[in-house]
Structure 1
Amino acid sequence: MSDSETGFGKGCHLHLIDGSAYIFRAYHALPPLTRKSDGLPVGAVAGFCNMLWRYLGENGNSSDAPTHAAVIFDYSSKTFRNDIYDLYKANRPELPEDLRPQFPLTRDATRAFNLSCIEVQDYEADDIIATLARQAREAGGRVTIISSDKDLMQLVGGGVEMLDAMKNKRIGIDEVIEKFGVAPDRVVDVQALAGDSVDNIPGAPGIGVKTAALLINEYGDLDSLLARAEEIKQPKRRQTLIDHADQIRMSRRLVLLDENTPLDFTLNDLEVRDPDPTALVDFLNQMEFRTLTRRVADRFGTEAPALPDPAPATAPSQDSTPDMPEFSAAQYDCVRDLDTLNIWIDRIRERGYVAVDTETTSLDEMRAELVGISLCVDAGHAAYIPLAHRAGGDDLFGASALLDGQIPLEQALRALQPVLEDPAILKIGQNMKYDAKIFANLGVTVTPIDDTMLLSYALHGGLHGHGMDQLSDRYLNHQPIPIKSLLGSGKSAITFDMVGIDDATRYAAEDADITLRLWQMFKPRLHAAQVTRVYETLDRPLVPVLAQMERHGVKVDRDVLSRMSNAFAQKMAALESEIHELAGESFNVGSPKQLGEILFDKMSLQGGKKGKTGAYATGADVLEDLAAEGHDLPARVLDWRQLSKLKSTYTDALQDHIHPDTGRVHTSYVITGAVTGRLASTDPNLQNIPIRSEEGRRIRTAFVADQGNKLVALDYSQIELRILAHIAGIDSLKSAFRDGHDIHAMTASEMFGVPLDQMTPDVRRQAKAINFGVIYGISGFGLARNLRIPRAQAQAFIDTYFQRFPGIRAYMDDTVEFAKKHGRVETLFGRRIHTPEINTKGPGAGFAKRAAINAPIQGTAADIIRRAMVRLPDALAGLPARMLMQVHDELVFEVPEDSVDETINRVRAVMEAAAEPLVRLDVPLVVDAGIGDNWAQAH
């Protein structure tokens, strides 16, 4: 750019760049994927810098180059206009969490490019631009405002024009007239009438821009219009102007830009200067903007400093289609030596990302041994690194010998570890938590990661499963090699280390190839589907948190379980004797067929229905109905079945899950286990241990803390009811939660007219059953079964509930209508839960509606605890606390005794504020804490 003569005057050209607009355009142009190696989001900063670099390139040597320039920013969201109207811009959404820390960095970037960086407290950027434009115009110079903001169009004319840099479109007087229907000097009048919903400027109700322009053109200006409002022929329009005259005048004050903003500099201070190459390169290098750093260094002939390898590459843009060769043309290499492996490592470093997959001897990550690793950086070209494939026969010591032509495990890991741990190289996987744990067991921390399973979950939750085979078949039209074709099935199945290397290469490399192709397809779609925030803040960052939890595991006392198993067996034997006595004969209590014959043939109880097999149905619902009618035998069978399940599923099975080396149980959490976002626990399932029965609660006594430690459990109190109160807008429920009242007692009082000081436990229990039942769309039939009351009475309870809290019925109806129209519902955080069955008819229609009603509530609760879990590792930094388990609304920690109080304080603070700042609930989140030597004591 050229330098001006001394002093700003005739012949000078001032460029005023709307910095705030630049930031938001940069942020929304692409998904916010770019982060520094320390995790700081810098995607908007990167876009901002590229826009400034392009601006310098386009304007530096042109004949119309600016002599003076500045980038103008908003100082804060509060300005003098909030003193005029306290609801000004009140509708503006909260800044995205990953954008907030980038604002100061854009100021640093502006200064690094040697451009004047301007912001003034209590004033908007538009006011500063208006003031500088006035000063430049009065000094005889020209002004170009680089922005497309309609609020700045009132400044156009008299040597001032606008430039929409994104469209390369200049905006002069004609363009303003085209948009507003009036010349620039009357734009404020039109805006005052039309108002602005984005900035929450009220204007005149019912009058839009076109009508406002007609009125201003007819009456000349706003003051004349309001003074002659009685002359307007249209009654509604006339009355609107008369009734809202003061509001319209206030709106004019809000839209009129202040051309006298106090500034502590002059136009001369804005003279254009070339960037200092050293300072600019240093800033860009600190931001780790590798490509732009080199461009700047090349432009100014400056030596670029040593730079990290490329930051994790973003996926292709939304309007691009990845070039994917046919699978039949794919090339899959077998890497058998370090030289070849190093070639692949160079390719990975050059590309900045790699799809990774591991092959192991077991699905249990804590016991699995690594057999091989597959890599892919280009669709259709992948590699497999065999590490521990064995021959079929055993040697003298009973171990199979390793096959030749494999890199020793330690050497391969030593070569790959720098890549796997490099924060500038993105590692892509399918169910990456499994692979991360495999590597962690070997001392390698894989970061950062992307996960195609989670990408699919964010995009397609509720539509289908997210396993790789299903995704490949559905989205790539390719059926992967089935694992059973290599391992076999049943007793003759082998482990992967016994698979031949050639077969293993085809299978494993294909997996990495498919994973990369799915990533190239799914990642760009996040932004278009508006689920980037869900994936980036709720799902992806949860992977390392869960992996660490699972590796910690929870200590389980085998002796306690063994004693409980024996006690359950004795109780079951006693129940069997009682059941046989009630039946008048011995039979196999565990046989549904024999039980049905006893109940409906021999005892002639009502309600017997035979299925297709000819046997009577004896499910829990049938037995519960019979028990509700006062029949002892089905009630005893229910007790026997519960004990049998507790024994087989928990007290017996949990002993088999105790790891021989750690003495702990290591469950696996499935992030995609429920469409609502709730985590599922498998192998073993720790989330379904019954807590309503005494026997079920006793099982938790087997989960213990190590010596010198305590188990600490923190769980949200009635979180789903709180979310329902917020979403449905139930003022009485919100008030009760804010005041800390007993919500079930309050509900009972509202419904049944019972004063709180006369509340009985039975009435409160009924209200509690209704409170929680309504969330899940319970029917009169279901409530009757739960409360053991007549169906008509249960239905009357539900009808009364909806009468007392009409907002709940409105929420239900609105949610079902939204689901039918859009095929999905959403949580408060934007998670999309698809409802493909919502418009079907028949038996499944009711379930689909209930699921749609419940999903935003349960899903929001699930999102909240995910947000808490993601934040807790940082919050607990420096404390020796370990997060062990997540059970729906509860988190369990193992903590040294002297750190219990501090841990509870920190965890509670995170959990209770987990919704903020994205969602500000109308009710407080409350977290209860418990401490004990075992889980039962802590819960």
Structure 2
Amino acid sequence: MPRLYLLDGMALVYRAHFALIRNPIRNSRGINTSALYGFTNTLLTILENEKPTHLGVAFDTSAPTPRHAKFPEYKAQREDMPEELAAAIPNVKRLCRAFHIPVLEVDGYEADDLIGTLARRAETEGFETYMVTPDKDFAQLLAPHTFMWRPGKKGSDHEVIGLEQLPEVWGVSEPHQIIDLLGMMGDAVDNIPGIPGIGPKTAQKLIADFGSLEGLLQNTAQLKGKQKEKVEENADLARLSKDLATIIVDAPVEVTWDDLVLSERDADAVKELFNEFEFRSLTKRLFGEAGAGAPAAPSGDATPTLQETFKRLAEVEHTYHLADTPEKQAELFRLLESPKRFCFDIETTSLDRFEAKLLGIAFSWKPREAWYLPFDESLLPALRSSLSKTCLKIGHNLKYDLCVLHRHGIEVTGPFFDTMLADTLVAPDRRHTMDYLAESLLGYSPIKLADIAESPVAAQEQDDLFTLAAQKAKTKELNVAAVPLEKLAEYAAEDADVTFQLAEKLGPLLVEAQQEGVLEQIEAPLLPVLVRMEMEGIRMDPDALAEIGGTLGERIETIGIQITALAGRPFNLNSPKQLGEILFDDLKLIDKPKKTRTGQYKTDEQTLSSLSGTHPIVDAILEYREITKLKSTYLDALPAHLQPSTGRVHTHFHQLVAATGRLASTEPNLQNIPVRSAAGREIRRAFVPRAGFTLLSCDYSQIELRVMAALAGDESMITDFRARKDIHTSTAARVWGVAEKEVTSDQRRGAKMVNFGIIYGISAFGLSQRLGIPRGEAAEIIDNYFKQYPAIRRFMDQTIEEAREKGYAETLSGRRRHFPDLRSSNATIRGNAERAAINTPIQGTSADMIKLAMIRIDALLREKQYQSRMLLQIHDELIFDLHPGEESTLVPEIIGLMETALPLPHGVPILVEHGTGDHWLAAH
């Protein structure tokens, strides 16, 4: 039978765009190519794997449809199409034309209707038809020779749905019952109302009982209570909903089967389009090395589905050595004496830094040549000698390797070049796995550990920056120790070889991006510092944790009783739906409460915070949510993070997860423990010093405000900092026009909110919500603020304009963050980018400052052989295990290094406050 594939163009581009919304693919000009790339990948998968004979792509038009005439609210709740997605659609159509694939559009009809019409026609004319769409509503069109072809999610394979799968997917037995189902339950995506109170499960049961919507409406006498009432009251609405959900199958589609016959693509047009959008990997996929003229996408052409287009180890000349004899080992260590740089890569039995046993180390200092050294305790002296030389050490996600080697007694000396960090600085928006970089920068696909190791556990895609052993595997754990030595040696040697080649590629790109200084002076020297901090960990008192948890548990129970009493009836405190009904149906706190897309009342934190003070139940709910989250996130979870071998907690620090360069902490996240709430502060009591030591906290005082004053050159604020005034009191005095001694606590609170809010682009609305004052009063405060600090306003405006012109904002150290959305015509998108552009040089400079301080403090501790240890970095704060005998000499040195780490313009002074105590709360 001829095979007809009908692609739902609108659904596919939406899916591709939003699948990558948090990490979009952009070309070197900043154009978001996610939708075009994702659509192209799906199209190529169908062309290469499914062998269609006929193919067409359907799109909506902007003209209203018969559904809008029947129900003006149809799809009315949908937000406007994102600007970048709208810009992509014409290019998707260009792609179709280049492939000689018809684009199907008819004013007044949706893509669904065009596909439905052609599918129904094809069913009777001898075709096997596949409707390519993620939209389950198409199941109403299934027939013996008509199927749904749904693209896979997160790397999984596509799914074909036919009549046999219908009951499993939709819970009904016949395709036409899909329309009855939608008529009853509605469709929030298209704003089809359905019958209030009837969801999918109820609708399925009603169809099982009555066969159809009409059958239900004819037998409402068999229903009971509210359900009977709602069905009878909304009968017309249900009929309308069914009508709206019915895909039209007789649309005026003037296309013949001959028009849809698959023909030869216009290779030159396809190649030109791929070059324009920098789809290097797709070019190689279609045209092989002949298409190598396509430029590499600096911000991340996504990983292709078919990897056969890349070169593999068997296809390239290479020389890999296995140092498995004393003679070969001696030769390897002799050769390691000469290179000015080499790459190393370890192989281990586990991703856990404390459980991993070292199996071997691979080395490479020439492209296509590498060595693998199986590990043996007898090799430790030679390894220590080779890895302590001052030549450049190259690796990918080096922190993991350095941690494991540290635990095995091997201290690796820098300087370092981490290809993962380097790529993050060069192209922050793309993926940074070694496999992906090898494919996109080298046109090469490395061996996958899962292909050679035994007993793979379910694979999971993760970003390098959150994976403990980033490029070791895309699996949680594999039985690496069982891999035959020759295979493991080849795999490891290839990793080292490929990483060395990546470093050669990324070096010039770093220079071109002017980010080599950030890597060489900040991120690379920070690597061993973080390794020592992570491996040191911090002591935690389980008894204190249990005591705090018990207290919070009692408070949760008490406040739950209070909330139930205030509500007037019992309800599930953890159900947003039931809470919304209490607040807005029963208590009627406001006249027109906001709702979610599914029709529930909004009860998120922002909504509840805006209602704070209107009724005691609101503040009680906010407290309940905070302490239950604290208890589950920290008090219940922290004991599981105690490392049995050390009795301490060892977090993971991530250098470049945050776009501004701030460190992130995971497993556990110690940076998100609230400091402003009493419950959050209590948790810090459980973190204690090692026996005989005390905890030292050194905290930059109001560092972001100082950076802002310095970058803006605002004399008024700089003068106040130089005079060591309380900046918030001083600001309040200026804004309200009163003497500093007359400033009230509310005025100081308002000034503090503005001081810190300005950095993040606070609006009059936002300030009014936080301070609980009218918006007009908040606007007046902000206006007065800029009158008193005019240079701050000029700095903000100038930063936005320069970032718009250059495409990026920059810190004092030269770290860059790119902002393509500054040129967006969508005011919301552009406004978000403007706020981030203002914040980047401020927060990014603060991040660079504390990173530089950490590098110098670590050097001090090592050079003078202090017994004190640096343990944690929490935003602007450093935590130490302080030896009592070192306090008088070490603390002033630490403070001095922190205050001079990155001098600010205009002589703005940096102040570091410190404290000590027998737990973190006391020290802070």
Instruction: Map 1:158-307 onto structure 2 (within 5 A).
Output: none
Q: Are 2:392 and 1:420 aligned? A: no
1:891 is displaced (CA, Å) by 1.0
Q: Is 1:594 matched up with 2:578? A: yes
* 1:453 partner amino acid: M
Residue 774 of structure 1 deviates from its aligned partner by: 0.1
Q: Distance in 2 between matches of 1:880 and 1:891?
A: 16
* TM-score (norm. length: structure 1): 0.60
- Counterparts in 2 of 1:619 and 1:370: CA distance versus 1, 3 Å: farther
Give the C-alpha shift of residue 507 in structure 1. Answer: 4.7
Instruction: Please tell me the residue identity of whatever aligns with 1:654.
Output: L
* 8 Å CA contact 1:596, 1:617 repeated in 2: yes
Distance 1:784 1:637 in 2: 21
User: Partners of 1:430 and 1:704 in 2: how far apart?
Assistant: 34
Q: Which residue of 1 aligns with 2:757?
A: 773
Q: How far apart in 2 are the matches of 1:631 and 1:359? A: 60
Q: Which residue of 2 aligns with 1:429?
A: 395
Q: Which is worse superposed, 477-486 or 866-875? A: 477-486
Distance (Å, rounded) in 2 between the aligned partners of 1:608 and 1:710? 52
| Overall identity of the aligned pairs, in % | 41
- Give, in angstroms, the shift of residue 473 of structure 1: 4.4
Offset of 1:415 from its aligned partner? 4.5
The question of whether the paired residues in 2 share the 8 Å contact of 1:711 and 1:934 is answered with: yes
- 2:722 aligns to what? 738
Residue 488 in structure 1 maps to residue 475 in structure 2: no
Corresponding residue number in structure 2 for 1:925: 910
In 2 relative to 1, CA 372–612 (structure 1 residues): closer, same or farther, beyond 3 Å? farther
Letter in 2 for 1:693: S
Alpha-carbon shift at residue 673 of structure 1 (Å): 2.1
Which residue does 2:526 correspond to in 1?
Answer: 542
Check whether the contact 2:383–2:410 (CA below 8 A) recurs between aligned residues.
no
C-alpha contact (below 8 Å) 1:332/1:506 kept by paired residues: no
Counterpart of 1:359 (choices 340, 343, 347) is 347
Larger Rg: 1
Q: RMSD of the alignment, in Å?
A: 2.6
Instruction: Give 1:135-146 correspondences, 5 Å limit.
Output: none
Decide whether the 8 Å contact of 2:311 with 2:445 is kept in 1. Answer: no
**Shift in Å, 1:839:** 2.1
Q: Distance in 1 between the 2:319 and 2:774 partners?
A: 67
Q: Is the 2:868–2:880 contact (alpha carbons within 8 Å) kept by the matching residues of 1?
A: yes
CA distance in 2 between partners of 1:819 and 1:470 (Å): 30
Find the aligned partners of 2:585 and 2:450 in 1 and give their Cα distance: 46
Is the Cα–Cα contact under 8 Å of residues 332 and 509 in structure 1 kept in the other structure?
Answer: no
From 530, 533, 536, give the equivalent of 1:552. Answer: 536
| Alignment check: 8 A CA contact 2:349 2:481 kept | no
Contact 1:745 / 1:756 at 8 angstroms: preserved in 2?
yes
1:368 to 356, 366, 386: 356
**Distance change in 2, residues 1:613/1:506 (3 Å):** farther
Deviations 1:457-504 (A, max 9, x none): 3434x4445443443444334555566665332899643435533664
Q: Does the alignment pair 1:335 with 2:327?
A: no
* Residue in structure 2 matched with residue 409 of structure 1 by the alignment: 376
1:937 counterpart SS class: helix
Q: 1:336 to 1:586 in 2, by over 3 A?
A: farther
Indicate conservation of the 8 Å contact 2:351/2:477, yes or no: no
Task: Determine if the alignment matches structure 1 residue 623 to structure 2 residue 608.
Answer: yes
Residues 823/660 of structure 1: CA separation in 2 closer, same or farther (3 Å cut): same
Give the equivalent residue in structure 2 for 1:218: none
Letter in 2 for 1:450: F
- Aligned equivalents of 2:582 and 2:923: distance in 1? 43
CA contact (8 A) 1:554 1:703 kept: yes
Q: CA deviation at 1:614?
A: 3.9
- 8 A contact 1:553–1:665 mirrored in 2: yes
Given that 2:323 and 2:371 are in contact with CA atoms closer than 8 Å, whether structure 1 keeps it comes out as no
Listed one character per residue, the Cα deviations across residues 887-933 of structure 1 (whole Å, up to 9, x for unaligned) are 111111111222212221111111111124xx554211111111111
Rate the CA distance shift 1:817–1:574 in 2: closer, same or farther, 3 A: same
- Is 1:884 aligned to 2:868, yes or no? no
C-alpha distance in 1, partners of 2:572/2:450? 37
Equivalent in the alignment of 1:822: 806
- 2-structure distance, mates of 1:411, 1:535: 35
Deviations 1:771-792 (A, max 9, x none): 0000111122222222122223
Gaps of 5+ in 2: 1-309, 461-474
Does residue 1:457 correspond to 2:424, yes or no?
A: yes
1:645 to 2:614 alignment:
no
For residues 484 and 329 of structure 1, what CA distance do their matches in structure 2 show? 22
Spell out the pairing of 1:309-708 with structure 2 (5 A cutoff).
Answer: 328-329=315-316, 331=318, 333=320, 335=322, 337-338=324-325, 339-385=327-373, 407=374, 409-423=376-390, 425-448=391-414, 449-460=416-427, 462-478=428-444, 480=446, 487-489=456-458, 494-497=477-480, 500-501=483-484, 504-505=488-489, 507-606=491-590, 607-628=592-613, 630-708=614-692
SS in 2 for 1:453: helix
CA contact (8 A) 1:360 1:496 kept: no
Any conservation in 2 of the 1:347–1:377 contact (CA below 8 Å)?
Answer: no
Q: Residue deviations 1:739-792, cap 9 Å, x none?
A: 111111111111111211111111101100000000111122222222122223
Letter in 2 for 1:438: V
Q: Is the 8 A contact 1:875 1:910 kept in 2?
A: no
Q: Alignment partner of 2:412: what SS?
A: coil
- Show the counterpart of 1:858: 843
Residue 573 of structure 1 deviates from its aligned partner by 1.4
The count of aligned residue pairs is: 590
Contact 1:712 1:900 in 2 (8 A): no
The residue type equivalent to 2:630 in the other structure is L
Amino acid at match of 1:514: V
Deviation at 1:857, TM superposition (A): 0.7
Query: Partner letter of residue 707 of structure 1?
Result: A
Residue type matched to 1:439 in 2? L
- Give the deviation of 1:357 after TM superposition: 1.7
Q: Mean alpha-carbon deviation: is it higher for 862-871 or for 689-698?
A: 862-871
- Counterpart of 1:376 in structure 2: which amino acid? S
Give 2:407's aligned amino acid.
N
SS in 2 for 1:762: helix
Residue 444 of structure 1 and its aligned partner are, at CA, apart by 0.7
Task: State whether residues 833 and 855 of structure 1, in contact with CA within 8 Å, keep that contact through their aligned partners in structure 2.
Answer: yes
Q: How far apart are the structure 2 equivalents of 1:481 and 1:784?
A: 57
Q: How does 1:730-879 map to 2 (within 5 A)?
A: 730-842=714-826, 843-876=828-861, 877-879=864-866
Give the letter aligned to residue 422 of structure 1. K
Q: Which residue of 2 aligns with 1:142?
A: none
Contact 1:354 1:377 survives alignment (8 Å): yes
Does 842-851 or 887-896 show the bigger shift? 842-851
Q: Whole-Å Cα distance in 2 between the matches of residues 689 and 823 of structure 1? A: 35
SS in 2 for 1:741: coil
Give yes or no for contact 2:642–2:648 (8 Å, CA) kept in 1: yes
Shift of 1:330: 5.9
Aligned CA distance change for structure 1 residues 374 and 841 (closer, same or farther; 3 Å): farther
* Partners of 1:379 and 1:445 in 2: CA distance: 26
Matched-pair contact (CA < 8 Å) for 2:349–2:359: yes
Paired with 1:794 and 1:530, the residues of 2 have a C-alpha distance of: 41
Deviations 1:614-649 (A, max 9, x none): 433322111112225x12223222111111111111
Deviations 1:514-571 (A, max 9, x none): 3212210112333343333322211111111111111111111011111111211111
CA contact (8 A) 1:730 1:807 kept: yes
Does the CA contact (< 8 Å) of 1:354 and 1:427 recur in 2?
A: yes
Q: Which amino acid aligns with 1:430?
A: H
Where structure 1 has 5 or more consecutive residues not aligned to the other structure, the ranges are 1-323, 386-406
Counterpart in 2 of 1:267?
none
Match of 1:690, SS state, is: coil
SS at match of 1:837: helix
Alpha-carbon distance in structure 2 between the residues aligned to 1:493 and 1:669: 19
Contact 1:580 1:586 in 2 (8 A): yes
